[in-house]
């Protein structure tokens, strides 16, 4: 596939120098080093444009990766740092069931008097009572233990 299908990447001297340092120092995550190497290969300053497959062979990646990095460079407005760094999630993939209110309810339950017939609370007993409570989401005994451990609560 000819180079003309790839978005144009033109780096300044400072950007080229910075990317070269990222590649040579090796103190960056592998993904950043790989993307830096790809951007350096895609740079059109004073060189004859190479094909996507040729660049992929030199960088040791799939040709589609070359296209993806070039598109990311254009979408970021030519910002090299944003192009090579990993994007941060705005929200976690799964919302946590444990909110501050749930933690407070768990701690209050663990500090209360255990039910009749029991000398003290156990994690499994707390789990059974959490299942019975309507305003607390169903939690596993290991999750309950983690919440109590973070708050230095001891089941006595």
30-83 pLDDT, tens digit per residue, is 999 999 999 988 887 656 667 888 888 888 899 999 899 989 999 888 888 888
Helices 52-59 and 30-42 meet at what angle, rounded to 10? 140
Same domain, 78 and 121: no
> What is the total count of domains within the chain?
2
Torsion of CA 71, 75, 79, 83, to 10 degrees: -50
Q: Note whether residue 95 is domain-resident.
A: no
Q: What is the pTM of this model?
A: 0.58
- 1: pLDDT strictly greater than 60: no
Q: Residue 90 falls within a domain, yes or no? A: no
Identify whether residues 80 and 7 lie together within a single domain: yes
How many Cα atoms within 13 Å fall on the side-chain side of residue 44? 10
Q: What percent of the chain has pLDDT over 70?
A: 94
Cα 155 to Cα 117: distance, rounded to the nearest angstrom: 16
Residue 65 covered by a domain: yes
pLDDT digits (tens, 9 = 90+) for 2-19: 455 777 888 888 998 999
- How many CB atoms sit inside 10 A of residue 44's CB? 14
Domain that holds residue 109: 100-150
Average pLDDT over residues 88-115: 89
113 shares its domain with 42 = no
């Amino acid at each position: 596939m000819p180079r003309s299908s790839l978005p144009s990447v033109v780096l300044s001297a400072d950007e080229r120098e910075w990317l070269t340092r990222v590649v040579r120092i090796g103190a960056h995550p592998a993904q950043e080093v790989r993307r830096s190497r790809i951007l350096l290969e895609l740079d059109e300053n004073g060189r004859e444009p190479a094909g996507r497959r040729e660049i992929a062979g030199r960088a040791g990646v799939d040709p589609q990766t070359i296209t993806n990095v070039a598109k990311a460079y254009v979408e970021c407005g030519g910002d090299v740092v944003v192009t090579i760094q990993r994007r941060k999630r705005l929200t976690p993939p799964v919302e946590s069931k444990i909110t501050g209110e749930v933690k407070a309810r768990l701690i209050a339950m663990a500090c209360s008097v255990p039910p009749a017939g029991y000398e003290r609370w156990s994690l499994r007993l707390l789990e059974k009572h959490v299942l019975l409570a309507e305003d607390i989401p169903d939690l596993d005994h290991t999750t309950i233990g983690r919440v109590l451990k973070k708050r230095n609560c001891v089941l006595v």
